[in-house]
Amino acid sequence: MSFLSASLDRVKPSATIAVTDKARELKAAGRNVIGLGSGEPDFDTPANIKLAAIHAIEAGKTKYTAVDGIPELKQAIIDKFQRENGLTYKPNQIIVGTGGKQVLYNALMATINPGDEVIIPAPYWVSYPEMVALAGGESVPVVCPAESGFKLQPAALEAAITPKTKWIILNSPSNPTGAAYTREELKALTDVLLKHPHVWVMTDDMYEHLVYDDFDFTTPAQIEPLLFDRTLTVNGVSKSYCMTGWRIGYAGGPAELIKAMATIQSQSTSNPSSIAQWAAVEALNGPQEFIAAHNKVFKERRDLVVSMLNQATGIDCPRPEGAFYVYPSCAGTIGKTAPSGKTIETDQDFVTELLEAEGVAVVQGSAFGLGPAFRISYATKTSDLEDACKRIQRFCGNLR
């Protein structure tokens, strides 16, 4: 019998981290590799935010804090939700965690009983089904193909709801597709949810600020105030503020749920880093102008990548509304033969052969629940992106 817990049988290691590790390994071995697997901005954390952390260290703010976050950060989060989303929370309706990931994990651990179902539109962020499995629940993936803009349709939502449904997880803009719901699209979903009072909404708004072409971001509790009492609105500073390594995420939701999440956190990690919390106060309260400057670059990169990928034989790349990912189909390459002599039968084969032949690391769509496709993160230097897209064009052109 294994020494390891049986719960490990229920989870897979992260496919996105695996690709990043593989690319790092090849690079260390001297290969010229361009990694497009990692989901983090290439921009540095803004200087004012770094300075706030340095000041916190110098002022001795280096001790345990309240498990669910310092009052100053909770207030900054309350102000953010009010200012940007029209949502009104009290301090006991806010929790701060070690990254958005921990906040989502706490919420599932605090609510899932064996057999509870969680609806997850696919393609999905790799961690949702794994977290649901760890919590002992059942994920119910609902495939949302490219033809529907990778977005959940109201009828498909209605059909997926059962008496056992506990949560639906929405993520807009999405990792891995970049798709974002318009106000009308979201309203059509919240209308369905109004008919099913036992279903709660976990909305992962991590990429809120990363939208292009004047896209108007909205979040479910804002669109439908009647859902406020059963919605957990999750957000964080990792992506918009280029703070992935600082590990600060947060959520607003009903006090009873937030308290339960804090109980889980109190017996695992306790408070998130005191220093990172002070940096997050500055991120949320300080100047926001750099976000628009970053978005200008991200939009140019998105347009470049979409255009270049659509010139590759066998690739079809939709233009997403936000985040820093594109999710092209590689269906047109299936059945062809790679330079190594191997036939491409799946998107896993496509990404393996692409890495082997051209040194470009991307993540296979099957890891996100919809293939044959792959995810490219364009949060990478523009010159590298251009080079990578040329390599993908050459790879696809060389398939026989």
Ligand X SMILES: Cc1ncc(COP(=O)(O)O)c(C=O)c1O
Do residues 300 and 382 touch, judged by C-beta distance below 8 A? yes
Closest separation in Å from C-beta 292 to ligand X? 21
Question: In this complex, which beta carbon is closest to ligand X, that of residue 189 or of residue 315?
Answer: 189
Among 183, 182, 200, 203, which Cα is nearest to 250's?
203
Rounding to the nearest 10 degrees, give the CA dihedral for residues 158, 141, 131, 227.
Answer: -20
Dig out the tokens for 183 from the structure: 């106000």
Instruction: Using CB under 6 A, list all residues that contact ligand X.
Output: 39, 99-101, 125, 171, 175, 204, 206, 236, 238, 244, 249
Closest separation in Å from C-beta 239 to ligand X? 7
Question: In this complex, which beta carbon is closest to ligand X, that of residue 247 or of residue 336?
Answer: 247
Question: In this complex, which beta carbon is closest to ligand X, that of residue 20 or of residue 329?
Answer: 20
Query: Within a 10 A sphere around the Cβ of 31, how many other Cβ atoms?
Result: 12
Q: Which residue has the tokens 């989303």?
A: 85
Query: Whole-angstrom Cα distance, residue 76 to residue 275?
Result: 15
Question: In this complex, which beta carbon is closest to ligand X, that of residue 248 or of residue 258?
Answer: 248
Question: In this complex, which beta carbon is closest to ligand X, that of residue 125 or of residue 228?
Answer: 125
HSE of 140, CA atoms in CB hemisphere, 13 A: 20
Closest separation in Å from C-beta 171 to ligand X? 5
Query: Whole-angstrom Cα distance, residue 141 to residue 351?
Result: 23
Q: Name, in order, each residue with C-beta under 8 angstroms of 300's C-beta and a sequence gap of 6 or more.
A: 382
Q: Name, in order, each residue with C-beta under 8 angstroms of 90's C-beta and a sequence gap of 6 or more.
A: 78, 255
Question: In this complex, which beta carbon is closest to ligand X, that of residue 175 or of residue 380?
Answer: 175
Query: Within a 10 A sphere around the Cβ of 354, how many other Cβ atoms?
Result: 24
Residue with smallest beta-carbon separation from ligand X: 99
Closest separation in Å from C-beta 146 to ligand X? 19
Percent composition of the chain: helix, strand, coil (DSSP 3-state, to 5): 45, 15, 40
Query: Whole-angstrom Cα distance, residue 331 to residue 312?
Result: 12
Q: Which amino acid would we find at residue 335?
A: G
Question: In this complex, which beta carbon is closest to ligand X, that of residue 110 or of residue 206?
Answer: 206
Closest separation in Å from C-beta 107 to ligand X? 12
Question: In this complex, which beta carbon is closest to ligand X, that of residue 17 or of residue 260?
Answer: 17
Closest separation in Å from C-beta 352 to ligand X? 23
Query: Whole-angstrom Cα distance, residue 156 to residue 273?
Result: 41
Closest separation in Å from C-beta 80 to ligand X? 15
Closest separation in Å from C-beta 244 to ligand X? 5
Query: Whole-angstrom Cα distance, residue 343 to residue 323?
Result: 33
